[in-house]
Every structure is written in structure tokens, then in C-alpha cells.
Amino acid sequence: MSKRVAVILSGCGVYDGAEIHESVLTLLRLDQQGAQVQCFAPNVEQMHVINHLNGEEMPEKRNTLVEAARIARGEIKDVREARMEDFDALIVPGGFGSAKNLCDFAIKGADCSVQPDVLQLAQAFADARKPIGLICISPAMSARIFGEGVECTIGHDADTAAAIEKMGGVHKPCDVDGIVEDTNRKLVTTPAYMLAKSISEAASGITKLVDRVLELA
């Protein structure tokens, strides 16, 4: 029987939403492995909108769910509709939207909180001991989801690793093509574009993460 996987997106675009390459690589590998996938996103306003051509903030507002629908080709639902019981695993790609729209780590660092609907769903998976994969900056939410002692990686960035440690997480350095697995919590993490210099480098770790999450499921 094929595995059922929920994927949470955080908008569309690396600087203010979900990282598109990471999201597509995740969805591609899940499809290659025969998984049934449903994308979700919180139905909330993005923290801000960034012009991806010049990096400047734009004077407009956008909805995280509406923007994420671009990546999912419209096949996406409000995260409040997600039921842990309907899925075998959960994966969250990165991008600054993960640290801006799924939580406020980009602003508050170690004092961050996770968007309530996202937190409720992720903790339901954690409590049920169903595997979770967090990619790129998304592991910054690990301690909020699992509590103190959770092992994860964002690669080698010292400041982000220090914030994770301050929240009670245990950061494990990792290269772009590797994964870190907290076997007790069934959490799998990989650095992706925290380190990747190309889409193929990002794919190397994401492929391993997806495969391992499906094995654990």
C-alpha cells in the first residue's frame, strides 16, 4: 500500500515563502516513490512580500495559502483541514516562509513560536510517533514541536544552530548531501539550501530525507 504524506508549504518563493526547488524536489521524490501526497498551508497573511528580482520588500499583502497553491498547481488545502489520522508522515520544505509564515523564527530567533494550526498538526504527528521530515530552515521549529533534546540539523550555520540549542534542541552538523535522524522521535532533517549551491546539491539530501521518511512510515 502506498504511503500517504502531508506536505506543508509556506507560500511561494525563497525570500518570503516556500523554497520552490525544495518543494518541487520533495514532491517529485514522493511521486517517484509512489506516495500519495496532499499539500497544505496555513490560511494566513504572509509576514511580508519580497521582490525576488531585487530583494526589496514590496508594499502589498499576499496570503500564504493562495501563494502556496502556485507550487501545488491548486491542489492544496488549509492546514486546519489536515487530520493526522489520514496520513503516514509529514514533510515541511524550507525557504524563508518557513521561518516567517509557519513560525516567527526569522524575527524572534530562539524566542519564536510556531503558527498555531501548523504546531497542532505537527505535534499530532509527533505524539502519534509518525515520521516528520524538516528541510532547510524548517528544523528551527523542532524544539517547539518535539520539546527539549530533539536532534536536528540546519547544516553548519553557527548562529542558527546556537538558536536551536537555546530552544532546547541538539544541533548536529551535517553536509548538504546528508541527513540527521532522531531515531527516538522519528524526525529526519537535511540542510538543503542552507548549504546547497545548486539544485542538484539540494536534491542529494532531500532525496535521502524523503526516502528515509517513507521507510520510517
Residues with active-site annotation: 136
Report d(CA 26, CA 135) in Å as an integer. 9
Report d(CA 11, CA 26) in Å as an integer. 15
Residue labelled with grid coordinates 522521535: 185
Residue labelled with grid coordinates 545548486: 198
Helix (H) or strand (E) segment spanning residue 118 = helix 116-127
Query: HSE of 170 in the Cβ direction (CA atoms, 13 Å)?
Result: 9
The three cell numbers locating residue 95? 525557504
Report d(CA 174, CA 198) in Å as an integer. 17
CB-CB contact of 155 with 116 (8 Å): no
Residue labelled with grid coordinates 497553491: 69
User: Any idea what the Cα angle at residue 136 is, between residues 132 and 141, rounded to 5°?
Assistant: 55
DSSP assigned state of 72: T
Residue type, 103: C
